[in-house]
Structure 1
Amino acid sequence: MSTTDAKVDPLAALGSLPGVADSVESVRKAVDRVYGHRIMRRRSNQITAEAALRGARGSAALSGADWALEEVRRRTDFSGDEDARVVGAALRLTAEAGQLLSIWRQSPLRVLARLHLVAAGNNRDETGRPRRRGEPVDEPLVELPLPDAAEVSGRLEGLSELVVAGSAAPALVTAAVVHGEILALRPFADHNGLVARTAERIVLVGSGLDPKSVCAAEVGHAELGRADYLKALDGYVSGTPEGMASWISHCGRAVELGARESTAVCEALQRGAA
């Protein structure tokens, strides 16, 4: 990835892949539907808070901690077993994401470092920085070949250049590439999946597609299931037009399902059932 030629917009080309334009349009309609709901005009803060909780639950489930929503809502201590720590990390990331929107377009690598620090919840030497040569990665649910540290560094720099330069690509395309690239690289010692999905959310919100953060893609990714998630990620890693289109479309479907979830919450509130 390089932005040495200002006229080159690699992400924009992805928007013309088969099926991607349809996914972008479908996402836009789903987002418009929830934003047009009458409850959003009066209780949008409540919908945002509920989407954050459900998104964190979904992201944690994809990282192996598949708790019921009410358990996530009820718990206050997330320092116990490994599952509890994963759910706690997902909740912290969701809360932190909104504080980083203004920084993302200027310094995405700084944001990624901060996200990892928040997720890890500690100050170990490897926390908040890309892994170095020979350092292991704890991401057991992603079994793809692990790029070496030099490749990780180069590709992160390329991703950062693309974000800072901006793109004419739809927000869905940019969010999907950011998500896929981080998860493919697994640049940190752990929590890469949680960080990747939070970065996707930051792009979707910061782009203006989902400014109130009510269309939690994490909800949709979890609903579509881990097997389909990893199959779509294989397509991204393949780098083929078909694989890339499949991954972007998968991310689009996840956003649609997140929007549908919040629409259902709006309708429940309207009925006085929530």
Structure 2
Amino acid sequence: MSVDVFEPLGGLEGVGSAARAARDAVDVLLRDRGLRKVGSDMTAEALLRGAHASAALAGSPATLDEVRRGAADGLATGAVRMTGELMALAPRVDAAPVQVWTRLHQLAAADLGPDEQLGHLRTTREPLPDDIPGLPPAPPADEMWERLSALAQNLTRPTTAPGLVVAGIVHAELAVLRPFPTANGLVARAAERCLLVARGIDPVGVTVPELGHYELAGSYGSGLGDYAARGLTGVRDWLLRTCEVLTLGAERSPLVRSQ
């Protein structure tokens, strides 16, 4: 019998009620607009804004206008490149998560390093990546592979935990593990977004959770650091922050101004 590792995390103090409130914020957004009326242009705009915010959180100086015009740096260009496939990748994330994550990295890092690094999970022969400020050192490659494999296996199993909890844990694990030589933050945030789509929280991709992470940037690195170092207390606090991020993401949806 498989173990549901996500279920007890959804039961941590305050997490269940916060996840329901965040889900309600998204449901209100979609209900007010009507799912059938959400066009691909709105999804594309939400993804573009999310790409800009995610890249900015990773250190990109590009403005939203520059990103929109395709005149941005490698971080922002990679983030936008991921948006082109994100909605197609989302349905595969529960069945083949590692393949989805490696594809996200191929897209995100195309302008950030040599071709042989694209979609490449790091090995013991390579230096530890240090591309997300505020985190303790990345774990050695053998530990990373073990934890990444366990995370992928758990994603393929049924869970009673809210989808938001699963998405938040995957984001944090990928960020803490930093399985790739570069662009780990971009991949972690895109992986979270994939799960929000796949688990039916935002099936049409019109919230902007990356903008929520950006607006709460002051607690991003420290929140991930606490997740890594403070046991269940750190996990709970990260999940509560994830719920706040999704609520902000619903408020920043392009649907809000188009209604």
Q: What TM-score does the superposition give when structure 2 sets the normalisation length?
A: 0.93
Indicate the residue corresponding to 2:157 in structure 1.
Answer: 165
Matched, 1:134 2:125: yes
1: distance between equivalents of 2:132 and 2:235?
23
Q: Any stretches of 5+ residues in structure 1 without a counterpart?
A: 79-83
Shift of 1:43: 4.2
1:92 partner amino acid? R
Question: What is residue 86 of structure 2 aligned with on the other side?
Answer: 97
- 1:192-231 correspondence runs (5 A): 192-225=184-217, 227-231=218-222
* Corresponding pairs, count: 256
AA in 1 matched with 2:29: V
Residue 52 of structure 1 pairs with residue 56 of structure 2: no
Q: Structure 1 residue 235 and structure 2 residue 229: aligned?
A: no
In the other structure, the counterpart of 2:242 is 251
Retained in 1: the 8 A contact 2:168–2:192? yes
Opposite residue 132 of structure 1, the aligned amino acid is T
Any idea what SS the aligned residue of 1:176 has?
helix
8 Å Cα contact 1:64/1:141 also seen in 2? no
Candidates 76, 88, 109, aligned match of 2:77: 88
2:258 is the counterpart of 1:266: no
Pick which of 253-262 and 142-151 moved more. Answer: 142-151
Pick closer, same or farther for the CA change 1:14–1:53 going to 2, 3 Å.
Answer: same
- What is the alpha-carbon root mean square deviation over aligned residues? 1.7
Q: What is the aligned partner in structure 2 of residue 81 from structure 1?
A: none
Q: Does the Cα contact within 8 Å between 1:40 and 1:266 map onto a contact in 2?
A: no
Letter in 2 for 1:228: S
Extract unaligned runs of 5+ from structure 2.
none
- Kindly state the Cα deviation for residue 31 of structure 1 after the two structures are TM-superposed: 0.4
**Do the aligned residues in 2 keep the contact of 1:37 with 1:266 (CA within 8 Å)?**
no
1:106 CA displacement: 1.5
User: Within 5 A, what are the aligned runs for 1:24-43?
Assistant: 24-38=19-33, 41-43=36-38
Letter in 2 for 1:9: D
Q: 1:69 to 1:105 in 2, by over 3 A?
A: same
- Matched-pair identity in %: 38
Compute the TM-score of the two structures, normalised by the length of structure 1.
Answer: 0.88
In structure 2, the partner of 1:175 is 167
Q: Please tell me whether Structure 1 or Structure 2 has the larger radius of gyration of its CA atoms.
A: 1
Deviation string 1:5-57 (CA, Å, 9 cap, x unpaired) is 41x21110001101101211111111012102237653432321221111001
> Amino acid of the residue matched to residue 60 of structure 2?
A
Q: Is the 8 A contact 2:132 2:175 kept in 1?
A: no
Match of 1:64 in 2: 59
CA contact (8 A) 1:57 1:66 kept: no
Partner-residue secondary structure (3-state), 2:122: coil
